[in-house]
Amino acid sequence: MTPIIVAASDSGADAGSFVLLTLVAFVAYVVHCLVWPFRACRKCGGAGRFRSPSGRAWRYCDRCGGRAAQVRLGRRLWTYLANTRSRSKH
């Protein structure tokens, strides 16, 4: 057999390794969201405010309200699911 035919007939990485890699990435993201639930605001870059063109005055960021941080999407989902589960118990 020529190497081209052998390479073409090889199944390569199976679906099991892809599923395992996806599961590991998901668990790592969940742990990341539990340890660090906030991320820097994308609009103000984590500063919480904007300076005027003159540089003397400033105003709070509209998106984060001056807190300079926003809750991550994964943490919002985690909180929603936790609250849904706790409401269904009562």
- The gap from C-alpha 34 to its chain's centroid, in whole angstroms, comes to 11
Look up residue 56 and give its two tokens: 């003397």
- Residue 50: exposure state from Cβ atoms within 10 A (0-12, 13-18, ≥19): middle
- Predicted TM-score (pTM) of this structure: 0.60
Task: Give, for all 90 residues of the chain, the pLDDT tens digit.
Answer: 556 655 555 555 688 889 999 999 999 998 998 899 999 999 888 888 988 888 888 899 888 888 989 999 989 998 898 888 777 665
User: CA neighbours within 13 Å on the CB side: how many for 87?
Assistant: 6
Return the H-helix or E-strand segment holding 32.
helix 15-35
**Whole-angstrom distance, CA of residue 87 vs CA of residue 4:** 60
